[in-house]
């Protein structure tokens, strides 16, 4: 089951209380205070992982809590620190904190190994040994441990892909990604066969490859919730290149130019429509990357069933005036697919990678006594 949004609550561990203790030993007339400090509470971390591609693990487990620190003890023994809790999330997860004013962005996990501290554990309290001075040799003062942070979080998954396939339902996007990669989406002859995005890796040769995403079919009004709505449009925000798959056969009954214009209008509307934003920062809409300004390629699919060549000619002439490249293909027979793959790779290669994929290992807030 593909889940791209989840609300969870994270609770860090409280710090342990400091100890009130005095040394009492035979033949030691001036023992003095020996109360140890309390241990610090465990923190909650989110960790980008390549072993997950959905947020389904968080859908039915809304509460995550780290362990608290142990109290201090006599003989100058400090309490054991609580263990940190590390939650693995898919790469591409954006973390927001839910507040009374809206949602505040905390982190964006865009690389495997990247970690984000979402709830810090409380500091342990000091024992009476720490308060001994030359004028107060028998202090009777200790500190309670500080409480750990508690946060309400919203996790939003945005797929990381180089190329995003967009278009009306049933134009052949799933067939195309199945031919180009090892992805095996559901393929059937009815609209909205694809209900969740699909990722695939296209390998041209040993040195050339890219990641492609198949986004569920869009229709007019998708940015306002029509059809599958604007929920899956956010998955193409991170893509570098958009490939419009257009059905040039007469089976759909639609005009090819109008199809392309409609999808472009939805991309513009999704970028500029602030009232439908799922997420914002401190009550304000979050700034979005304009989808309409991304490099675009048009794949005129189903040329094997083309019964009216004028449909393809009209689309070609219209795109030429807008300097949008067109590649006639047949996802079923494979005709023209190699040329399209090379065009996609060159478009991605020119832009380069915007994401730092250098692994960053999570740094624990502290090392517990057990680990020592």
The CATH architecture to which 163-351 belongs is 3-Layer(aba) Sandwich (3.40)
* Residues whose CB falls within 8 Å of the CB of residue 85, separated by 6 or more in sequence, listed in order: 10, 42, 43, 44, 45, 64, 65, 66, 67
The CATH architecture to which 5-157 belongs is Distorted Sandwich (2.70)
Domains in the chain: boundaries: 5-157, 163-351
* Percent over 70 (pLDDT), the chain: 79
The pLDDT of residue 130 is above 90: yes
Separation in Å, CA 342 to CA 215, 312, 327: 21, 21, 11
What is the token pair recorded at 349? 């290669």
The pLDDT of residue 160 is above 80: no
* Residues whose CB falls within 8 Å of the CB of residue 372, separated by 6 or more in sequence, listed in order: none
User: What whole-number distance in Å separates Cα of residue 50 and Cα of residue 145?
Assistant: 37
Q: What is the pLDDT, as a whole number, of residue 289? A: 52
The pLDDT of residue 51 is above 50: yes
> Average of pLDDT values for 254-283?
64
Q: Tell me: the pLDDT tens digits for 321-342?
A: 888 999 999 999 999 999 999 9
Q: Name the strand (E) or helix (H) holding 187.
A: none
Q: Tell me: the pLDDT tens digits for 93-125?
A: 999 999 888 889 999 998 889 999 999 999 999
The pLDDT of residue 283 is above 80: no
Q: What is the pLDDT, as a whole number, of residue 81? A: 95
Q: Is the dihedral of CA 258, 263, 200, 349 positive or negative?
A: positive
């Amino acid at each position: 089951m593909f889940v791209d949004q989840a609300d969870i609550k994270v609770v860090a561990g409280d710090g342990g209380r400091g100890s009130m203790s005095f040394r009492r030993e035979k033949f030691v007339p001036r023992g003095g205070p020996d109360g140890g400090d309390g241990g610090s509470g465990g923190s909650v971390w989110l960790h980008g992982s390549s072993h997950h591609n959905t947020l389904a693990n968080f859908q039915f487990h809304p509460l995550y809590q780290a362990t608290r620190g142990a109290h201090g003890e006599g003989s100058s023994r400090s309490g054991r620190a609580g263990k940190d809790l590390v939650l693995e999330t898919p790469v591409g997860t954006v973390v927001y904190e839910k507040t009374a004013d809206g949602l505040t962005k905390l982190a964006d996990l865009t690389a495997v190994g990247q970690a984000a501290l979402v709830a810090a554990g409380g500091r342990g309290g000091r024992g009476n040994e720490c308060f001994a001075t030359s004028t107060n040799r028998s202090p009777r003062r200790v500190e309670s441990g500080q409480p750990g942070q508690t946060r309400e979080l919203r996790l939003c998954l945005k797929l990381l892909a180089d190329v995003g396939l967009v278009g009306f339902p049933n134009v052949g996007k799933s067939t195309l990604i199945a031919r180009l990669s090892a992805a095996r989406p559901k393929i059937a002859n009815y609209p909205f066969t694809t209900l969740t995005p699909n990722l695939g890796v296209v390998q041209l040769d040993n040195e050339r490859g890219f990641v492609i995403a198949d986004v569920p079919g869009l229709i007019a009004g998708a940015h306002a919730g029509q059809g599958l709505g604007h929920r899956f449009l956010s998955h193409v925000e991170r893509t570098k290149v958009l490939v419009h798959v257009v059905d040039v056969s007469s089976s759909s009954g639609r005009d090819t130019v109008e199809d392309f214009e409609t999808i472009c209008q939805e991309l513009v509307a999704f970028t500029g429509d602030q009232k439908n934003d799922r997420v914002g920062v401190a009550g304000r809409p979050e700034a979005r990357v304009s989808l309409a300004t991304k490099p675009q390629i048009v794949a005129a699919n189903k040329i094997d069933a083309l019964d009216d060549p004028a449909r393809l000619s009209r689309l070609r002439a219209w795109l030429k005036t807008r300097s949008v490249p067109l590649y006639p293909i047949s996802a079923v027979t494979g005709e023209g697919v190699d040329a399209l793959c090379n065009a996609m790779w060159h478009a991605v290669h020119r832009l380069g990678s915007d994401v730092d994929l250098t692994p960053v290992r999570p740094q624990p807030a502290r090392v517990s006594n057990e680990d020592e």
